[in-house]
Amino acid sequence: MTFKDFDAEEKLFLRRVIVAFGVVVVCFGILIFNLYNLQIRQHHYYTTRSNENDIKMLPVAPTRGIIYDRNGIPLVRNVTWYDIAVTPYKIADMDALLKQLTPIVDLSPDDIADFRHALKSSSRYRPVVLKNALTDVEIARFAVNQFHFNGVTINSYQDRQYPYGAELAHVLGYVSKINDNDLKALDQKGLTENYAADHNIGKQGIERYYENDLHGKTGYQEVEVDNHGRIVRLLKDVPPIAGKNIHLTLDLHLQEYIESLLAGQRAAVLVEDPHDGSVLAMVSMPSYDPNPFVKGISYQDYGKLLHDKNLPLINRVTQGLYPPASTVKPYMAMSALLSGIITPQTTFFGAPTWTLPGTQRHYRDWKKNRTRYAGCH
């Protein structure tokens, strides 16, 4: 007959419980460590990977409408350029990157300063333009070294070009970079999303007045990207809608002819069709070349225009204030005739000076000591 050793069995059971408890504690410890490692220590890494493995919406800029004169002559052009852009979250050392790219795409101190300023107001997950209007040589140099630069891309875009330069600057105006004030205005109008793929917006003249028509509607591509940011496949493509073309009543040949007559002078000429009031020519001299404003005019060049004593930035047709002189006389005479105040035979004595009734203000004839009789006949 055998007897159980209860003490031994109890000790064995306790050892098993302790071992099992220890295993559970170790497992929980490993689990907690992994959770800590994933959620805290490697939070940024996995957040980045999660963002990279995503569906992205890529905006596609619309083609800006063309402006024509009354005879169908295009007054502006859309020209294709290339820029280089950086996606900040993919760059470990931004200073080192800029140093490496400087000799490849000929970065200037102004390029780098503008880029750093743009970084402050942009999402780190959206590409930020580093330099516009790359040359063929710069594009070729980057293409050879592109495998060194993850997160740096070259993209095509369209810019405005004004082939007639200063001749039409005060009529057409120009487009230029979207600034903070433009962004605020677009946000208030609920149009920010429609400019997601654009660099420029109309600033003056026809370009500004008809901005909503000329701009068009931004399209987009819905794409799937892998954890390296590479496009895996295109899921949806909504093409942009091109801006509307604008046809002016202005006659380019007449505009150029008047420009040639006023060369070297400070003057303004407005020619209208007397039948319908349509503008055939609008010339303000001197003028300026709008093309430098498109890519961003330098402070030095803008300062020269701003401080030019001839005031080329002023549109003398719309901003100048000039006395009407004798051009007002037929209108006043016609009003007086229609009102019965005078007759076609009424005459007036024109003394060298005229005093406004009730005042001591004397108005002199432009020709000294002239006296004459004037009437409607």
Active-site residue numbers? 326
Give which of 288, 280, 291 is closest to 258, Cα–Cα: 280
The kind and range of the H/E element at 330 are helix 329-339
Query: What does the radius of gyration of the chain's CA atoms come to, in whole angstroms?
Result: 36
Q: What is the DSSP letter of 293?
A: H
The kind and range of the H/E element at 238 are strand 231-238
Contact between residue 288 and residue 172 where contact means Cβ atoms under 8 Å apart: no
Phi, psi dihedrals of residue 158, rounded to the nearest 5°: -110, 140
199 Ramachandran zone, left/alpha/beta (phi>0; psi -120 to 50): alpha
Q: How far is 29 from 17, CA to CA, in rounded Å?
A: 18
Phi, psi dihedrals of residue 280, rounded to the nearest 5°: -95, -30
Q: How far is 174 from 204, CA to CA, in rounded Å?
A: 6
Q: How far is 116 from 94, CA to CA, in rounded Å?
A: 10
- The CA distances from residue 72 to 128, 160, 214, in Å, are 38, 18, 17
